[in-house]
Amino acid sequence: MKFIILVGLIAFAAADTAYKASATKEDPVVTYPPRPYSFNYDVKDKESYADFVHSESSDAKVTTGSYRVELPDGRTQIVSYRADDSGYTADVQYEGEAQYPEYKEPEAPAAKTQKY
């Protein structure tokens, strides 16, 4: 009886306990040739004060475009860009002059100062 228990313990200790996951199969990577494209859009929404224009075109090697955005300070930001093998280059210009609200001295605090 002791011999059977000893053999069982040895067999249990020698058993491979590592989980063998099934082999995974990777899907082939599909690449498509670059295609030329062109688009443009503009948004003018008086409720949200959104006002911007964007246009872009690509011949599958060089991408060029520009966008115009009305900034909160009253200026217009115009960005013209080009992206190709050498990287991304942007020309940023501003129209108009920044307008800031005048400083007003704050009124009384909303809550009283706490005393301890």
DSSP line for 56-114 = EEE-SS-EEEEEEEE-TTS-EEEEEEEEETTEEEEEEEEES----PPP----S-SSPPP
| Domain extent for 77 | 35-97
Position 67 in a domain: yes
Structure-model confidence comparison of residues 114 and 39, the more confident one: 39
For 35-83, the pLDDT digits (tens) are: 999 999 999 988 988 889 999 999 989 999 999 999 988 899 999 999 9
Position 75 in a domain: yes
Find, among 37, 46, 70, 42, the residue nearest to 54 by Cα.
Answer: 42
Domain count for the chain, please give it.
1
Position 92 in a domain: yes
Position 48 in a domain: yes
Contact 56, 33 (CB under 8 A): no
Position 62 in a domain: yes
Position 68 in a domain: yes
Position 15 in a domain: no
Position 24 in a domain: no
Q: Has this prediction a pTM greater than 0.75?
A: no
